[in-house]
Amino acid sequence: MVHGTWRIRASRGPDTPACGSVPGCADRNPAIRAAMTLDESAKQATARRPWIALGVLGLGALLVSLHAFVLLLAVPALTAALGASSSQQLWILDVYGFMVAGLMITMGNLGDRVGRRRLLLVAAAVFGFASVAAAYSVSPGMLIGARAVLGIAAAAIAPCTLSLISTLFPDERERTIALGVWAGCFTVGAVVGPIVGGVLLDHFWWGSAFLVGVPAMVVLLVVGPILLPEYRNEEAGRIDVPSVVLSLAAILPAIYGLKRLAAHGAGTDSVGALVAGVAFGWIFVRRQLRLTDPLVDVRLFVRRTFSVTLVSMLSYSMLSSGVMVFLAQYFQLVRGMTPLAAGLALIPGMIASTIAFQLAPRLAHHIRPGVLIPAGIALTATGCIAIALTTSPAVLVIAFAVECLGAAPVVTLGTSLIIGFVAREKAGSAGALAQTSNELGIALGVAVLGSVVTAVYRSRMGGRGGSSLGETVDAAAPAVLDEARSAFTAGFQVVAGISAVGLTIVCVLLARVLRGVPALATDDVDGLSSPGRQSAS
C-alpha cells in the first residue's frame, strides 16, 4: 500500500491535490481500491489468527482431559490381552493422573522460563510417541511406563496451552471468552472420554483408545510454530530442583493416599501416604518463602481473594466431580446400563456445560464475578439437590445437566482471577496452580465422598453380600442384590445432599469475598488484571 501510494504521488504535478482530499478519488482509482482491500484483508486475517490458534490449543486441552478417562471401559480388554494383575490395573489407570497432578506446577514454571511454545511442541511430540507406545504395549509394565510418559507430557501441555492464551489475547474481555472455550474443551474431554473409548472398543482393539490423540498432536506440531507466539521470562533464573522434588513428594503421596482411602478405607498405607504428603508440603512451603525466585509464590495466598478463589475452585471440583462419578456408577450398577449407555446419559450435561462455557464470558461483561460465580455454583447445588431427591433416570439426566450449567463461571472466571494475580511472565505457573487444584479436587471428591458412600452402604448391608455394590453384583443372590442396590442408592443420595450443602457454603463465601471485583465491561478490571488495586484483596 505504501509503495502504491508513492507511485500515485510521483505521477502528480506539484499543484495536483492529494487523492485522499478529493471526494470519490479512492473509489475511481483501482490501485488504491486494491491496496485498501488488501489492507482490510490483512487486518481481518490478523484478527482471526488468535482464534484459530485457540482452536489448536483447545484441541490439546481436550486430548489431555480425554486421556484421563478414555481407558475406563478398556480395562477388561487390556487385562485379558496383557495379563495385568489387579495392582497393575490400578497403576495403568492411575499413573497418568499422578504424573499430571504431580508435575503440572513444575511444567508451568518451566514453560515460563524456557518458552511456552517450545515446551508445548516438545510435549506434543512426546505425547504422540507415547500414545503409539501405549497402543502397542506387549506387557503391563510397558503400558504403565507409556502411561507415565503420557502424564508427564500432559502435565506440560495443560499449563502451556493456558498460559499462551494470555499472550494471544491481551484484551481482558477476549481473554475471558478464550478461557471459556479452553475450559469447555477440558470439560468435554472428561465426558467424551468414556464414550470415545466405548465406541472404539466396539470396532477395534483396546490400543485404539490411545491412538485417538496422535492426529491431534500432529496438527499441533505442524501449525503450532506458525500460529502460536513464543513467550518466555527472560529474567527468570534457573529452576530450583529441590523445589521440584519436594512438590512431587508432597502431591504424589497425597493423591495416592486419597485414592487408597477411597478404595480400601483408612489403613496404614493410606494414612501414612497422606501424612508424608502433608509433611513434604510443609517443607516445600518453607523453602518457597526463602527463595527469591520460587517455584510457587506462596505469598499470594495472603491475598484473600486469591486464596479463597483457589480453595473454592478445589472445593467445587471435589463436590461436583464426586457426584458425577457416582452418578455414572448408579446408571451402571443400579439401573443396569452398559458403560457406553451410561456415558451417553451424561451427554445432555456435556451439551449444557459447553453452552454455559460460551455464555459465561459474555455475561461477565455485564455481571460482577461476585454475582455470576455464586449464581453458577447455586445452579450446581440445585442440580445436586434434585439428584438427592430422585431415582428416576430421566430426572437424573436433567438434574445432571443443571449441575453442569454452573461449572462455567467458577472455572472460567476463577482461572482468570488466579492468572490475573501474577505478572504476565508467570502466567504459566499460575495457570498450573489452578489446574493442580482441580486435579486434587477430583481426587478428594472420589476419596472423601467415596468413603461416605461406602459407610452408608456397609451400615445398611450389615455384612451381607460384598463390601461394595460392584462385588455384590458379581456374586450375590437376587434378594441380596436388590438390597445392595438400595443401599448404594441411599449412599449416593447422601453424597449428593452433602455436595449441595458444601456448594451452598462456597457460594455464600465467594459472594462475600468477590463483592468488590467489577464486571469486565468496566474500565477497571483489577479483579482480573491488576489485583494489587483490589479492595477485596
- CATH number, domain of 460, equals 1.20.1250.20
pLDDT of residue 534: 41
Residue of 94, 69, 92 lying closest to 81 (CA atoms): 92
Please check the confidence at residue 243 and state whether its pLDDT lies above 60.
yes
pLDDT, tens digit, for every residue of 271-282?
888 899 889 989
Please check the confidence at residue 11 and state whether its pLDDT lies above 80.
no
pLDDT of residue 292: 78
pLDDT, tens digit, for every residue of 381-397?
999 999 999 888 899 99
Q: Which domain holds residue 476?
A: 309-537
* 118 inside domain: no
* 227 inside domain: no
pLDDT (mean) for 81-107: 76
Q: Exposure string (b/e) for 290-316, b if CB count within 10 Å is 16 or more? A: eeebbbbbeebeebebbebbbebbbbb
Please check the confidence at residue 363 and state whether its pLDDT lies above 80.
yes
pLDDT-based confidence at residue 28 (cuts at 50, 70, 90): low
Query: Which has the minimum average pLDDT: 108-122, 193-207, 365-379?
Result: 193-207
* 338 inside domain: yes
Higher-confidence position of 27 and 322: 322
CA distances from 313 to 13, 417, 441 (A): 69, 11, 8
Distance CA 92, CA 74 (A): 11
Please check the confidence at residue 80 and state whether its pLDDT lies above 90.
no
Q: Please tell me which of 36-50, 228-242, 303-317 the model is most confident about, judged by mean pLDDT.
A: 303-317
pLDDT-based confidence at residue 73 (cuts at 50, 70, 90): low
What is the percentage of the chain residues whose pLDDT exceeds 90?
8
pLDDT (mean) for 408-418: 80
pLDDT of residue 208: 81
pLDDT, tens digit, for every residue of 426-465?
666 677 777 777 777 776 777 778 778 888 888 887 767 6
Please check the confidence at residue 172 and state whether its pLDDT lies above 50.
yes
* 28 inside domain: no
pLDDT (mean) for 127-138: 89
Region of 233 please: left (phi>0), alpha (psi -120 to 50) or beta.
beta
Q: Are 254 and 271 in contact (CB under 8 A)?
A: no
* 74 inside domain: no
* 290 inside domain: no
Region of 137 please: left (phi>0), alpha (psi -120 to 50) or beta.
beta
Distance CA 375, CA 147 (A): 38
pLDDT of residue 7: 38
Q: At 228, list the grid cell.
A: 502460536
- When divided into structural domains, the chain yields a total of 1
Q: Are 148 and 223 in contact (CB under 8 A)?
A: no
Q: Are 429 and 112 in contact (CB under 8 A)?
A: yes
